[in-house]
Homo-oligomer: A and B are copies of this chain.
Amino acid sequence: MDISQALYTTRAMRRVKPDPIPDEVMAKLLDAAVRAPSGGNTQKWRFLIVTDQAKKSALQKIYSDGLTELNANQYKSVMDLIQDGDPDDPEVIQAKKTYASGRWLADNLDKVPVLLFAWGKPNGESSIFPALWSLQLAATAEGLGTSLTTLLFKKHTQEVLDILGAPPVGEWVPMAMITIGYPTGTWGVAKRQQPHEVAFQNTWGNPVSWTVPEPLWP
């Protein structure tokens, strides 16, 4: 797959089939992940591949409760928009789609074939997230859909770590979970604010001298 196709089409793909992922494919994804650079090339990362049904079911319950709680608090304004907004407003339509896809994942996390957990060192975010994004891009090239979430490490971290048999937060810090599976649909290029709308030149607030009216790929 061309690098541009991977960069422009890899999006949060939450709805996946329960079909298992072969070991050799998982090996490919992890091999791509560890090629990413890390601060001082320290490679301070650990990955845990969860396929065990009992563990996935236990995690699903925590995740589902966590999403309900998140929607009631941090995302309350989005929930209000979905309930009270103009149903023809593109923003409302998009918010509904995102909500439905997030809810699907929360209700079906136990049916996702692989839940991959990642640990880094304290303040090691700039080292683990490139590796995880490499893994997600490599997954796209393998025909897999992925989504990254930090939800399980917002409130019920210790409970989750107990399920995973992982050490308490300290030397290692749990950073994220990635869901991986064969997708039920396909995705086009994501609609985004265009880059000239979020980029400055030389001084904060000073516009760049170029514009990108449409995505440059395909």
Contact = CB atoms under 8 A, between A and B. Distances in A.
Interface of A: 1-8, 10-12, 23-24, 26-28, 30-37, 39-41, 43, 45-52, 55, 75, 78, 94, 98, 125-126, 129-130, 132-134, 136-138, 140-141, 147-148, 150, 164-167, 175-176, 189-190, 192-196, 198-206, 208-212, 215-217
B28 A216 contact: yes
A205 to B, nearest CB: 7
Nearest to A44: B198
Nearest to A50: B202
Given A3-B3, A30-B199, A137-B137, 7 more contacts: A4-B32, A10-B37, A43-B198, A46-B199, A49-B208, A130-B130, A165-B204
A33 B197 CA distance: 13
Contact of A2 (B1, B46, B47): B1
B133 A194 contact: no
A190 to B, nearest CB: 6
Contacts of A126: 125, 129, 148, 150, 175-176
A35 B190 contact: yes
Contacts of A137: 3, 7, 137
Given A165-B203, A166-B204, A215 B35 contact: yes
A160 to B, nearest CB: 12
